[in-house]
Structure 1
Amino acid sequence: MAAESELALVVRDLTVAYQRRPVLKDVNLSLPEGRLIGIVGPNGAGKSTLMKVVLGMVPRLSGEVWVWGRPPAAARQEIGYVPQRTAVDWDFPTDVLDVVMMGRYGTLGLLRWPGARERELAMAALERVGMAEYARRQISQLSGGQQQRVFLARALAQDARLYFMDEPFAGVDAATERAIVNLLRGLKARGRTVVVVHHDLQTVREYFDWLVLLNVRVMAAGPVERVFTAENLTRTYGGRLGSLAHVAGASPAPLRTSGGD
């Protein structure tokens, strides 16, 4: 096991509850640096909540969270976040460039306004996601895929070491999905760590090299080739063994289950 200062994220004995109902319970997790990490599990499994706890957006009932051996608040400038597109007020009156420059605010301090350097970095990020020509377009005028690219550009402008992305492929077209995948691979090639809440089991092997299976508790975590098995998927999702075994690339015959969804 690597030292905690060498791990992108360490979570110990984490429990989170909404109105006394546990959403995450006794979560223990260690994520290595420089990986593309998928978090998958059924609806209500706590995937988005886990990200929000690390980001300080949701309080924890108990447990510890460390980012490179430090409390998340001490590493906040090194953490980028792409929220679910449905969680954003797209009617807010601002344009694409201003949204992307928000990714630079954490490096400016309280008394500085974005200047030419921040604008240059924001435009470079928009170029990388194919959205430079829309820099002065109001965000409400964009398609769903374009909106997602803008938020990816904002995260890129921040130049973080650790990125959390909450279902970045949801509701986008095939071209945007390919562009996002290429972007994530580019981040990994630069040594960044990318953690993605994901729902499409069919693409897990193609997109990620590390996987967390979550259903209130961590059911399994580790390299995709070791973790993405029919047995682990059945423990995480319950029934539907035949289809789960198929997407895991394993034969369902040796495994048996009953009940579940």
Structure 2
Amino acid sequence: MNPLVVDQMTVAYDRQLVLEDVSFSVPEGKLVGIIGPNGAGKSTLMKAMLNFIPRMHGNVFVYGQPYEKQRHLVGYVPQRNSVDWDFPTNALDVVLMGRYGHIGLWKRPRKEDVEIAMQCLDKVGMLSYAKRQISQLSGGQQQRVFLARALAQDASIYLMDEPFVGVDAATEKAIIQLLNELKTRGKTVLVVHHDLQTVRDYFDYVLLLNKCVIAFGETERTFTYDHIQNTYGGKVTFLSTTHIVG
């Protein structure tokens, strides 16, 4: 049973279709890149999967059950620009939010939860910043904290919306190392990604999206010149042949 199935999802804003009849099924333990031009519906896809925005129709299944029954198995890392970084909280408190599904929303974190949160901060190189206000962190550090929050949730599926945007090279390297570690633990990770040059290096599977699914499958056979051109409307001319096939 595949961990994540999206079936005929359609989403519209003000009667304007943003996603149309999107369907795909992700095998377990894979890193999946979601690729497409601006306005293709990549972030909308994630938000609709998580019920943050309504779907006109379509379903999301997590291990064969509707997402609504399995939401605790899904972790989410939002775009940095969608977060209120001036909210008065520190890095440790942000990561502890990932434990709410285990302890209950209105209950105090247990010693065990604090230890897990600290371990997750350590994994992303942010342990020494545990008491630092998030507004005082750099963009890369903020992104690492949100990755730690997702780790603390101990989900089976992770949805990450452009985690590499606005981070330095060291943070990008740390993120991809973390994603590969999640994969070795059998986790399934979907990442909205914009850098076509790194797609083949980073992802096992690729979803090429432009309001509808242009192509989906193993990166080696799916990330082709023709599929890329179809996704971007024939406007991609800068890719080296070492980064695509076909």
- Give TM-score, length-normalised by structure 2: 0.97
- 8 Å CA contact 1:229, 1:248 repeated in 2: no
Q: How many residues align?
A: 246
**Separation in structure 2 between the aligned mates of residue 90 and residue 82 of structure 1, nearest angstrom:** 14
Give 2:222's match in structure 1, choosing from 204, 221, 227.
227
Q: Deviations over 1:226-251 (max 9, x none)?
A: 10000000110012353247464347
> 3-state SS of the aligned residue for 1:243?
coil
Give the RMSD, CA atoms, in angstroms: 1.3
Match of 2:233 in 1: 238
Match of 1:29 in 2: 24
**Separation in structure 1 between the aligned mates of residue 57 and residue 81 of structure 2, nearest angstrom:** 29
**Separation in structure 2 between the aligned mates of residue 125 and residue 249 of structure 1, nearest angstrom:** 35
Give 2:48's match in structure 1, choosing from 47, 53, 65.
53
Higher relative contact order (CA 8 A, sep 6+): 2
Residue identity in the other structure for 2:185 = R
Q: Deviations over 1:94-123 (max 9, x none)?
A: 001000000000111255211211100000
Match of 1:83 in 2: 78
> 3-state SS of the aligned residue for 2:190?
strand
Identity of aligned residues (%): 61
**Separation in structure 2 between the aligned mates of residue 234 and residue 247 of structure 1, nearest angstrom:** 16
**Structure possessing the higher radius of gyration over alpha carbons:** 1
Q: Deviations over 1:120-172 (max 9, x none)?
A: 00000000000000000000000000000000000001110000000000000
> 3-state SS of the aligned residue for 1:242?
coil
Query: Does the C-alpha gap of structure 1 residues 241 and 92 become closer, same or farther in structure 2, counting only changes over 3 Å?
Result: closer
2:167 counterpart of 1:202 = no
- 8 Å CA contact 1:15, 1:24 repeated in 2: yes
Query: Does the C-alpha gap of structure 1 residues 131 and 250 become closer, same or farther in structure 2, counting only changes over 3 Å?
Result: same
- 8 Å CA contact 1:45, 1:214 repeated in 2: yes
2:147 counterpart of 1:177 = no
Structure 2 residue runs of 5 or longer lacking an equivalent are none
**Separation in structure 1 between the aligned mates of residue 244 and residue 211 of structure 2, nearest angstrom:** 25
- Give TM-score, length-normalised by structure 1: 0.91
Give 2:182's match in structure 1, choosing from 181, 187, 202.
187
- 8 Å CA contact 1:233, 1:244 repeated in 2: no
Match of 1:255 in 2: none
Structure 1 residue runs of 5 or longer lacking an equivalent are 1-5, 252-261
**Separation in structure 2 between the aligned mates of residue 13 and residue 110 of structure 1, nearest angstrom:** 33
Match of 1:40 in 2: 35
